[in-house]
């Protein structure tokens, strides 16, 4: 900024400063509480910057930066300013259909980070993982970008390609991916099936405006088929609209049972939501599955069914995204998405988990056989609540399951081998996909109970090498279990779709196997809840990796949305 070297003498400048300083000191009494003063002060600063800064300043960009600075100061990743150009995209996402690559992202540690590659979308097929930091899109560095900027860059006309580079813990340098955009159809319930003896299974992968209708159809179809027991899978469900979470829960409760409460400072932000429809199938025994990526509306569902003694919750403690976002229309069609309240379960347990607790959970995480992360639960010191039926449930953020079951984690040797696979970037999933297609061409009569032989696994190794996935013999031996799992899963997916993939992986799903065991040992909902306290059922499943701590820090998947 220029100095007043020609108009005022130095003494005059000093006198002016002293006089003005004295005036400001006199006027400073109570200024912190004077909103008008603060607004006037802000406008004065902006005016001087716009009119007198040494370089030209764009007025629109300056005010936009000021708005972003105010919101960032709140320290809340769920609060954001949406310019009018992004409003339509937001509406499309909430309604369940949009064009892009299928990656859910949030700001974390200074970079936009993937929290959930949506199943069956281009991003997932390319090999992008939860925890990956997006460092480039289209050849441009994303340093300083917010999630909306990244989402905007990832979107485009279906059929066009976008280059993405990510930073993955434990892998040197950036991993490049070339992803072809598609029209993304967001189905909350991708399929419905029966498993075991009369047990229905419904995976609710996300919560959108169509979720309740999809759940109702799914439950009705299972009941028509004679199903008496239900496993509702909320693992990996990052949540969505509050009204849909309430409507889904209402479908399984009697009238006037509390679903969720909100507490906030604003008008109508402190409320209690109760069921009112009346459940159509009160005799339906239920197990709800959750994990570290279950968040938001999915935590409302699990918490309400647990607190009301309606369902048994099995799995790992949830993410703890317990806040309400309100959309405030602004001038020019812009929207402010602002956190205005927090969610509480019917017993008054806060769903919100502090950032420090999330970081501590990160430190206890390890990668699983499926490629996502699991966290060893820490229930020490959590507040205790009692349900009406006398059961103990734990508070302290997130939903702590009644029965803890940890997914199968990788050993340290397997994790080290996996890092070698990671260095190939998107080549590994692409190579696995190509192998699966070729395998099905060579085995037209393949049956669902297939298993790759040792000779075929050696063929997989050769195929990986030919596809640019460099993996030495010792590393391949160490990663053999991981590679078998993903190759067989891809073959099943290409051969029989989502249901075929699910059934192929079912024997290795610890949480579902424990749920089936519990349902088989009970004859009613009360007995189901009662036996969950038996050590025979309540201890988590032993796992080969035994939650081995990685030699290098690894990002943990979450589903805050």
From 146, 148, 307, 309, active-site residue: 307
Give the Cα separation of 181 and 183 in Å (integer): 7
Give the Cα separation of 291 and 401 in Å (integer): 9
Q: Which two tokens stand for residue 323?
A: 């806040």
CB atoms within 10 A of CB 129: 21
Give the Cα separation of 131 and 128 in Å (integer): 9
Helix (H) or strand (E) holding 10: helix 10-27
Strands 182-185 and 97-100 come out as antiparallel
**Which of 321, 295, 288 minimizes the C-alpha distance to 402?**
288
Please state at what angle helix 242-250 crosses helix 297-307, rounded to 10 degrees.
Answer: 30
DSSP structure string for 357-379? HHHHHHHTEEEBTTSSEEE----
Is position 165 annotated as part of the catalytic site? no
Is position 309 annotated as part of the catalytic site? no
Helix (H) or strand (E) holding 141: strand 140-141
Beta carbons of 351 and 303 less than 8 angstroms apart = yes
3-state secondary structure (DSSP) of residue 298: helix
CB atoms within 10 A of CB 322: 27
From 211, 296, 350, 561, active-site residue: 296
Helix (H) or strand (E) holding 288: strand 285-290
**Which of 231, 157, 220 minimizes the C-alpha distance to 194?**
231
From 321, 422, 532, 559, active-site residue: 321
Give the Cα separation of 274 and 292 in Å (integer): 26
3-state secondary structure (DSSP) of residue 111: strand
| Residue 341 dihedral angles phi and psi, to the nearest 5° | -160, 170
Angle (nearest 5°) at CA 318 between 316 and 323: 175
Is position 296 annotated as part of the catalytic site? yes
Beta carbons of 422 and 168 less than 8 angstroms apart = yes
Beta carbons of 487 and 452 less than 8 angstroms apart = yes
Distances (CA, A) of 424 to 120, 127, 139, 175, 456: 21, 10, 19, 8, 22
3-state SS string for 52-65: HCCCCCCHHHHHHH
Give the Cα separation of 454 and 461 in Å (integer): 11
Residues taking part in catalysis: 296, 307, 321
């Amino acid at each position: 900024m220029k100095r007043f070297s020609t108009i005022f003498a130095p003494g005059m400048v000093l006198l002016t400063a002293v006089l003005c300083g004295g005036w400001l000191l006199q006027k400073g009494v109570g200024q912190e509480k004077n909103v008008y003063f603060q607004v006037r002060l802000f406008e004065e600063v902006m005016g001087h910057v716009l009119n007198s800064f040494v370089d030209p300043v764009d007025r629109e960009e300056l005010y936009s930066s000021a708005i972003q600075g105010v919101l960032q100061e709140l320290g809340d990743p769920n609060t954001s300013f949406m310019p009018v150009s992004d409003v339509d995209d937001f509406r499309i996402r909430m309604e369940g259909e949009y064009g892009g690559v299928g990656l859910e992202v949030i700001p974390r540690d200074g970079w936009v980070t993937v929290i959930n590659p949506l199943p069956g979308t281009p991003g997932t097929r390319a090999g992008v993982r939860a925890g990956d930091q997006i460092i480039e899109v289209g050849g441009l560095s994303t340093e300083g970008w917010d999630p909306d900027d990244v989402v905007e860059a990832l979107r485009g006309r279906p059929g066009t390609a976008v280059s993405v580079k990510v930073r993955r813990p434990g892998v040197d340098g950036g991993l490049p991916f070339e992803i072809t955009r598609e029209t993304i159809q967001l189905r909350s319930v991708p399929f419905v099936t029966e498993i075991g003896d009369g047990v229905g299974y419904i995976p609710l992968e996300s919560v959108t405006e169509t979720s309740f209708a999809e759940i109702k159809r799914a439950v009705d179809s299972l009941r028509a088929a004679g199903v008496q027991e239900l496993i509702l899978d909320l693992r990996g469900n990052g949540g969505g609209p509050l009204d849909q979470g309430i409507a889904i829960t209402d479908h399984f409760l009697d009238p006037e049972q509390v679903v969720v409460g909100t507490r906030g400072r604003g008008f109508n932000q402190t409320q209690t939501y109760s069921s009112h429809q009346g459940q159509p199938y009160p005799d339906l025994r239920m197990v709800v599955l959750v994990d570290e990526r279950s968040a938001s509306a999915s935590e409302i569902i699990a918490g309400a069914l647990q607190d009301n003694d309606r369902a048994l919750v099995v799995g790992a403690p949830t993410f703890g995204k317990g806040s309400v976002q309100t959309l405030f229309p602004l001038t020019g069609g812009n929207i402010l998405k602002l956190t205005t309240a927090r969610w509480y379960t019917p017993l008054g347990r806060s769903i919100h988990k502090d950032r420090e607790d999330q970081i501590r959970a990160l430190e206890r995480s390890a990668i699983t056989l499926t490629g996502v992360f699991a966290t060893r639960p820490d229930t020490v010191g959590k507040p205790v609540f009692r349900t009406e039926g006398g059961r103990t449930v734990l508070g302290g953020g997130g939903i702590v399951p009644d029965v803890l079951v940890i997914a199968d984690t990788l050993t340290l040797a397997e994790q080290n081998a996996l890092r070698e696979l990671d260095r190939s970037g998107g080549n590994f999933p692409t190579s696995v996909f190509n192998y699966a297609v070729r395998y099905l061409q060579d085995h037209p009569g393949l049956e669902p109970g297939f298993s790759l032989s040792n000779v075929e696994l050696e063929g997989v190794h050769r195929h990986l090498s030919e596809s640019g996935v460099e993996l030495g013999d010792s590393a391949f031996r160490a990663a053999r279990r991981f590679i078998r799992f993903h190759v067989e899963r891809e073959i099943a997916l290409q051969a029989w779709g989502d249901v075929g993939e699910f059934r192929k992986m079912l024997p290795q799903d610890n949480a579902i196997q424990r749920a089936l065991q519990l349902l088989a040992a009970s004859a009613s909902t009360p007995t189901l809840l009662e036996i969950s306290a038996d050590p025979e059922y309540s201890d988590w499943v032993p796992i080969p990796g035994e939650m081995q701590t990685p030699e290098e820090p690894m990002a943990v998947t979450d589903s805050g949305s």
